Amino acid sequence: MPLTKPLSEVKEDIRAFVGESEHLKALQYLQEQLPENSGKRDQANLIQANLTLANQKYHTNQIKFEDHGVELSKVGAAILEMVAGLTEADFMAKATGAPAVSAIPKFVVIYNELDKPFFDGLKKQLTVLERFKKLRFVDVNGGDGNLEERAKVEIADADYLLVLLTPQFFIPDPIDWFDLVSKALGEGRRMIPLRIQKLPDEVPELEKLKSLPSMGRWVSEMPNQDNAYAEIVGELRKLLPK
């Protein structure tokens, strides 16, 4: 929606909230200003999901007070970095037509390297479609060279980002995948969260992003994980050019 006050004042309002450690108010204020189909709004949702997880871990004694403070500082920094890059165009509703995808769409699979066994389960299903040239996929943890820089290059020309959601995804070691994905969302990249391993508690902000498997299920809790990955890839097939 068009801004009701100058962008500079909106930015100052958000910075003031962050300065008072009111991160949730800052994010909610920002979400109220941004149109529903905005990549920046999706980015704000993801940052809020990280805030929710940090608070949940602290209140359930999974992290100490000092570590909670570190997590909140990171959330504040992410909000400020996002706000610094906002333009008037971010607050204007976009046309409903989505950009065209490649004839053979590129899917970049993003996950913490600790979750490679989950990636391998998904890979078995994706390989079938790649074999028949229906899509191509990139393992963000594969290859040589600087992992973070290579990931940025792959994300830059991806048609879709497949993000394996597990508790490990939010751990910034060795790469802060959360930060990379958050920024990619802000740039308008298509992201499909894959609900792999149940997070400590439900994070409602993630529900605002369409995820797979359907009906809020988690792959790790389904009786047959091979069938779960086959179901995910079956849904992804619907995104492929006819």
pLDDT tens digits for range 180-229: 999 999 988 999 999 999 887 667 777 777 889 988 899 999 999 999 99
Write out the two tokens for 54.
């940090």
Give the Cβ contact number of residue 32 at 10 Å: 9
CATH code for the domain defined by 106-237: 3.40.50.10140
Dihedral pair phi/psi, residue 215, rounded to 5°: 60, 30
pTM of the model: 0.86
Segment 138-154 shows an average pLDDT of: 89
Using CA atoms, how far residue 90 sits from 52, 111, 181, 194, 230, in Å, is 25, 28, 18, 27, 37
* Secondary-structure breakdown of the chain: helix, strand, coil percentages, each rounded to the nearest 5: 55, 10, 35
Average pLDDT, the chain: 90
The tens digit of pLDDT for each residue in 46-102 reads 999 899 989 988 999 989 999 999 999 999 999 999 999 999 989 887 655 556 789
Using CA atoms, how far apart are residues 212 and 232, in angstroms rounded to an integer?
6
pLDDT of residue 48: 93
pLDDT of residue 137: 97
